[in-house]
Amino acid sequence: MYVEFATRWSDSMAMSREILRIHQYKPGLPPARPACYIRRVTMEFKKIDPRATITTKFGEIKIRFYPDAAPRHVENFMNLAKMGFFDGTTFHRIVPGFVIQGGDPLSKTADRRSHGSGGPGYWLNPELSDRPHKRGAVSMAKTPRDGSSTRDFNDNGSQFFICLDDNSGLDRRYSVFGEVFRGLDVIDKIAALPRDEFDNPLEAVTMTVTVKD
């Protein structure tokens, strides 16, 4: 007996493998007519491509995530965004030629001195990889494990930064979990804003974040 297959792949990563016919034969004799026909069996393979859109008054920043390099960070960001956690927060830290930083719930308050010190109430273990801190890289900010620590850091649960330039000195020290693929001009506009002595822009730049699995 031998079986004829036909295998096809679609653009949506679905594989269709159809058993065309089954032949039965005996040694020394020509193949008999197909014994039966079997219906097509389709197996779906979901393409993982999570993305986010950060909407500001200067335009949209579109992010493609790296679930292969930092799965917990990607999942955490996606979950917070779906909860509306980031909506109304600001980019509270701007360092031209270096980064813009946001994601602190305390940035919604009028007390500018508290901006940059908040989070969701938990930390993340770092997920370090070979992903570079290139221009547009999205990475997680760090927070001391306890108030007296200056060297031993966990990743903040919600504060993230976007690189304005290549920053190889941050590689394998911070958890890169995505990159901006559209809207680099927007981050440059934000980086050009006047700021106070704490690098907090004088003009609040609020954000709304939506995600797509």
Residues 68 and 121 in one domain: yes
Mark whether 22 and 101 lie in a shared domain.
no
| Paired residues of 139 in beta bridges | 161, 176
Q: Are residues 196 and 99 in the same domain?
A: yes
- 132-146 tens-digit pLDDT: 999 999 999 997 655
Q: What is the dihedral of CA 109, 125, 210, 58, to 10 degrees?
A: 60
Q: Which tens digits make up the pLDDT trace of 101-157?
A: 999 999 999 999 999 999 999 999 999 999 999 999 999 999 765 555 554 578 999
Sign (positive or negative) of CA dihedral 9, 10, 14, 19: negative
Token pair in block for residue 82: 């779906």
- Residue range(s) defining the domain that contains residue 75: 51-212
Q: What is the tens place of the pLDDT at every residue in 60-83?
A: 999 999 999 999 999 999 999 999
Separation between Cα atoms, residue 92 and residue 102, nearest integer Å: 6
Number of domains in the chain: 2
Q: Which residues pair with 53 in a beta bridge?
A: 62, 210
20 plus 71 within the same structural domain = no
For residue 83, the domain's CATH number is 2.40.100.10
| DSSP per-residue string spanning 145-169 | SSTT-SS-EEEEEEEEEEESS--GG
DSSP 87: T
The torsion angles phi and psi of 107, rounded to 5 degrees, stand at -70, -10
